[in-house]
Structure formats: C-alpha cells, structure tokens
Structure 1
Amino acid sequence: MTERFCCMVMRIHIDCNGCYRKVRRALLDIKELETHLIEKRQCRVSVCGRFNPRDVAIKIRKKTNRRVEILEVQELNINDEQSHEEKPLMIGSNTWNLESHQTQIETCLTCSY
C-alpha cells in the first residue's frame, strides 16, 4: 500500500497578530497535518502531512475567511519497506526567516470586529 505524503506552501494574507492566531488555530484543528510553519512577514504558510492539498486549502479558507493561494505542492510516495527511513524534505526556498518581530501590535480591520 502506498501513502502520499505532501508538503505544500501557500500564500495567506496575514496583517496582524489576530490574523496570525486565526491561521494558526485553523492549522491546529486540521488532523491530517503533521507540521506547519507560518512566515508572518512573507505571508507564507508551509504544511506537511498526509492530505489532499486542495481539501486542506478549502478547509483553511472556510475557517479563516481569507484567500488561500497554493504556491507549491511537493508529493512523496512512501512505501511500506521505506517507511522506517527518513527522507530529507525540501520546501519552497532554502531561506527561512524564523525571526519573531512584534512590530505590529494593533489589529487590522478584519480582525477588529
């Protein structure tokens, strides 16, 4: 039996900390996702797991009420024999900006209601 392991990079507009929390909460509610990375300044979200990319994008769109644009999808086939071996994953670009900047404290118009 073959399982499909996907890594997907999406663009979701994140204006403020409220938007960030809304996107993070939506990602944590989706059971198919194993890992996620939210890049607030670049408005990019990367997710990995066993899922259908279109279905996950629709779920995030419904939960956050934000437009979701799929930038890149990478699918890996994992066989039963090779499932114990770890494979390196390359997602999007090689540069990750993991710095945490708290410059935007005020909320945007969409999160203030």
Structure 2
Amino acid sequence: MTLRMSIDCNGCYHKIRRALLEMHDIESHLIERKQQRVMVSGAFVPQDVAIKLRKRTNRRVQIMDIKEVDGHHA
C-alpha cells in the first residue's frame, strides 16, 4: 500500500518510522522523503493503518494505492 504524507523534517520522518515499527501487522515499510510517500506491506486493513498513522503523527494521510497480494492486503 502506498500512502502520501508530508515528511518535512527529520523529526517527522522518525515519528512516522517509529509509528510503523510499532504496528506488528506491517511486514516491511519504505519511507521516501523526497516523494512524500510511505510504502507498507503486510497483512493489515489499509484504513486501520492510515488512521493509526494519522493519530500518531497528527498529519494528513492519503491512501494512494492498495495492491492485493495472495489474498492479503499490501
């Protein structure tokens, strides 16, 4: 799943990263600062991840793309 978030500074980057690491259903993540994108994969409900991220970071989270892989959400 690809999310769009504004990642303006190192603090924001680390806050997002910490929030992702605390979500146990996320298998891997990639934060692309220049493109303002966060990619996550795992067996999770996309809306739940977006809501959790928004609560943890106080930033707008926009779901850009959701890919289904082997019956799991990606």
Q: Which category of TM-score, normalised to the shorter sequence, fits these structures?
A: over 0.9
- Cα distance in 2, alignment partners of residues 64 and 55 from structure 1: 14
Which of 6, 14, 29 is the aligned partner of 1:13? Answer: 6
Structure 2, unpaired ranges of 5+:
none
Match of 2:44 in 1: 51
Tell me by how many angstroms 1:77 deviates: 2.3
Match of 1:24 in 2: 17
Q: CA RMSD in A?
A: 1.3
Which of 39, 42, 55 is the aligned partner of 1:62? Answer: 55
Structure 1, unpaired ranges of 5+:
1-7, 79-90, 92-113
Query: Aligned pairs, how many?
Result: 72
Query: Quick one: percent identity of the two aligned structures?
Result: 57
- Provide runs of 4+ in structure 1 moved above 3 Å: none
- Please identify which structure carries the higher helix content: 2
TM-score (norm 2): 0.92
